[in-house]
Amino acid sequence: MNQFGWDKTVTALNDANIAVNTVDSFTLGGPPARFWGPGGILTMEQVAEETGGEAYFHRNDLDAAMASGIADSRRSYTLGSI
């Protein structure tokens, strides 16, 4: 992810076990998709993927996308050995 200088940020987020869910506010009927550059869909997908989050885009239900991201963040699990 070096092209946008996110390496240190992604490392810090992963070290803190923080998953980033990204949401694009352009809906299905909005302007053409922004695929490249800061804030573009490919960047959103990459940040979400590298931190264990989800990228939400091309949706008309932003409230549901955000609710899904919040619900996912409430789930956790612990691994242990006996």
Q: What is the pLDDT of residues 40-60, one digit of tens each?
A: 788 888 889 999 998 888 878
Structure-block tokens of residue 47: 């940040």
Average pLDDT score over the chain: 77
**Rounded CA separation 22/36 (Å):** 15
Q: How confident is the model at residue 2 (pLDDT cuts 50, 70, 90)?
A: low
> Which candidate, 20, 38, 31, places its Cα nearest to that of 58?
31
CB 4 within 8 A of CB 13: no
Q: What is the pLDDT of residue 11?
A: 92
> Which candidate, 6, 2, 5, places its Cα nearest to that of 47?
6
pTM above 0.75, yes or no: no
CB 56 within 8 A of CB 69: yes
- In the numeric block, the tokens 């694009």 are attached to 24
Structure-block tokens of residue 80: 């242990």
Highest-pLDDT range among 12-21, 22-31, 38-47 = 12-21
